Amino acid sequence: MNNALTLDGFYLPPPIKAQTFTNLKFGPIEIRMPILTATTLSDVVNHLLAAQERFLANQSTATLIDIVNTAVANWMKPNDPFRKMAEETLPPITGLSPAMIHLGLNRMLEGYRKDALLKVLAIEIGNIDRLDHFCPTSEPSYRWTRAIGPRITTSVLSGNIPALGAVELIATLLTKSAWLCKVSSEEPLFAPLFIQSLVQVEPRLAYCLAAVWWPGGNPKSPSLEEIAFGRSELVTATGTDEAVKSVHFATNEFGSVATRYIGYGHRVSLGLIGRESLDDLKSVAQRAAMDLAMYDQRGCLSPHVFYVETGGSFFPRQFAKSLAHELSRIEKVLPRGAVDTPTSARIHQIRSVAEIRQADGEEVIVFGSETGTLWTVIYEADPTFILSPLYRTVRVKPITDLARVFPLLDAWRPYLQSAGIAVPNSRLVSLAEGLARAGFNRITAVGRMQEPPPGWAQDGRHFIADRIRWVDLEMP
Q: Which residues bind another protein (CB under 8 A)?
A: 339, 341-342, 344-346, 348-350, 352-353, 355-361, 371-373, 411
How near is the Cβ of 320 to another protein at its closest, in Å?
A: 17
Closer CB to another protein, 324 or 339, in the complex? 339
Choose between 57 and 408: whose C-beta lies nearer to another protein: 408
Q: Provide the β-strand partners of residue 34.
A: 21
The CB-of-405 to another protein minimum distance in angstroms stands at 17
Residue (2 or 371) nearer to another protein, CB: 371
- Alpha-carbon distance of 289 to 304, in angstroms, equals 12
Q: In this complex, which beta carbon is closest to another protein, that of residue 386 or of residue 475? A: 386
CB of 372 to another protein, least distance (A): 4
Smallest distance from another protein to CB 386, Å: 9
**Considering beta carbons, is residue 320 or 364 the nearer one to another protein?**
364
3-state secondary structure of 394: strand
Nearer Cβ to another protein, position 325 or 348? 348
CB of 66 or CB of 355, closer to another protein = 355
For the chain, the C-alpha Rg in angstroms (whole number) is 23
Residue 60 or 358: which CB sits closer to another protein?
A: 358
